[in-house]
Structure 1
């Protein structure tokens, strides 16, 4: 089992591009489909500080649910605990792909950053 968890949505173009990049760079990962097995509140509570990103960066801002539920406004006013609950409620609300390692968490596919951190 790999120490690197790759959380993705197979129908997402960016996730497919990231998966291809991982394969081309021979980076062994354990893959998880976010639409079937979404992150739990406990996982998100651990990953957010490890990512060194604000919680708002964990939201899939181009997703349908984000727009339908007007989460743009909620993200500005809700507590971190409330936001983690929203993120854990549906994997499609979460920005992807996500790389989780024991040392760091990467959100979204940034080829340069992934090269620096994973190679």
Structure 2
């Protein structure tokens, strides 16, 4: 089952959902702020999407700025980065979509259509 980690008030999540609905794609919506992905899921997403862990952060988010993640990130181990992301869904770039074999992070319409539609 396709997992769609998002936030209903997020504009890019709504755009992605609209694309999925128009294409008839069945997915499970998971509120990323209430149920963030686990450390294991985040590691798998990073590997499936072929992106470094630091690209999983929502760098434009309020929490990212308030917690001064940019300054802390260079000193954090991979394990610490994953634990931080898994503990606070507002820090994760969204939408985060995965089927366990493929994954996309963030909204890129061309990428979403190319991979999921």
Alignment of 1:14-53 (within 5 A): 14-53=12-51
Where does the alignment leave 5 or more consecutive residues of structure 2 unmatched? none
Give the deviation of 1:79 after TM superposition: 1.1
Q: Secondary structure at the match of 1:10?
A: coil
Give the deviation of 1:102 after TM superposition: 2.7
Counterpart in the other structure of 1:9? 7
Matched residues in 2 for 1:13 and 1:41: separation?
Answer: 26
Where does the alignment leave 5 or more consecutive residues of structure 1 unmatched? none
Q: Secondary structure at the match of 1:112?
A: helix
Q: Secondary structure at the match of 1:36?
A: coil
Query: Runs of at least 4 residues of structure 1 off by over 6 A?
Result: none
Name which of 81, 93, 111 aligns with 2:91: 93
Asked whether 1:60 is paired with 2:58, we answer: yes
TM-score with structure 1 setting the length:
0.92
Q: Secondary structure at the match of 1:102?
A: coil
TM-score with structure 2 setting the length:
0.94
RMSD: 1.1
